[in-house]
A and B are shown apart, each in its own frame.
Chain A
Amino acid sequence: MKQDIFQAISDPTRRAILTLIAIQALTPNAMAEKFDMTRQAVSKHIKVLHECELIKPEHSGREIYYHFNAKKMQEFDHWLAQFRQNWETQFNQLDVLLSTIKEQKK
């Protein structure tokens, strides 16, 4: 199953990885070194982040560098803004309904 962004960024190590590669693309080995983790542990985090498209691999010779996919984060923020808009719309509808009911009671 495709990873959920909420799930991906709820992990502190993954957030730290994102913060780091937002500044500079890194290879899995470089990540393992910086976070003092095994290659396997790093691979698991990379898999989660890659599946929800928060990071993008780029091949350079025999190495793979992972980049931060800012566009995906923007899509997510955009979606959140729409979710907020839905609530605003519904609450405005409720304002109308409440004032209608209050009028009826008078």
Chain B
Amino acid sequence: MNNDLLFDFNVDKAAKTVYITREFNAPQALVWDAFTKAELLDQWGAPAPMRAKTKYMDFKVGGRRFYAMISPDGQERWSVQEFTSITPKTNFKMYNTFADKDENRELPGSDWDYNFSEQNGITKVSITIYNESLERMEKLSEGFRIGFTMTLENLENLLATLSQKQ
């Protein structure tokens, strides 16, 4: 799907940085909302069949999003995202750390920098992830592995159902 949309994923191991760029066939304001509003983030922010659940999100500088990735067997992996800089519609930065269910953070975390730009109705999102501890990232991806063999069919069905209800 959307094979004509750019997807770049580069890793600079020495600089401990991951660069991700992706284009979306939607206006910038909508894509911005999808990345910054909890009710939208929870609908795509974990690879199926994992799901994301935001306990609360206070999208302002110094504010936090406290959320979990939940596996099909009910295991929850909590994270805290602290917003360190916001330029509406074009950029936001956050500091991401894993946490326990009581919001105690497990430092160190990683710095995330999101950039948004639009051209001809296509919105480009560039993400830079810096200094994530490999072991912590690996820990997170362990849970994700469950998801690889599954299709996205479940989610598409769910979204279709939801959109009919509204």
Contact = CB atoms under 8 A, between A and B. Distances in A.
Interface in B116-143: 131-135, 137-138, 141
B26 interface: yes
B47 A86 contact: yes
Interface residues of A, number: 35
Contact of A101 (B20, B30, B152): B30
Given A94-B44, A96-B159, A99-B25, A84 B9 contact: yes
Interface stretch (B10-18, B81-89, B90-98): B10-18
**Chain B interface SS verdict (over half):** mixed
A36 interface: no
Contacts of A102: 26, 30
Interface residues of B, number: 46
Contact of A2 (B44, B135, B137, B152): B135
Interface of B: 1-2, 5, 7, 9, 11, 13-16, 18, 20, 22, 24-26, 30-31, 34, 40, 43-48, 131-135, 137-138, 141, 144-145, 147-148, 152, 155-156, 159-160, 162-163, 166
Given A85-B47, A95-B5, A96-B159, 5 more contacts: A4-B134, A6-B132, A9-B13, A97-B34, A101-B34
